[in-house]
Amino acid sequence: MADLEHAGIVWRKSTASGGGNCVEVAFAETSVFVRQSRDPLGPILSFSREAWAQFLASAKSGN
């Protein structure tokens, strides 16, 4: 995967994060990337924007 830091990708952590066990998300044109904040050089998950929206809707509804 391309070096996302140099591709203009900005990683964000939730303002509700605490205790160090957090994930960070970054948004690209067609994808959403997720990584563990304690291991920024580790694995990165990639989701379509549609899949990410479905995940968020499900999480917000408690399903």
At 19 the pLDDT is: 65
Distance, in Å, from the CA atom of 41 to the CA atom of 3, rounded to the nearest integer, reads 10
Count of CA atoms in the C-beta half-sphere (13 A) of 19: 2
For 5-49, write each residue's pLDDT tens digit: 556 789 998 777 766 678 899 999 899 999 998 888 899 999 999
- Residue 32: CB atoms within 10 A of its CB come to 19
At 4 the pLDDT is: 57
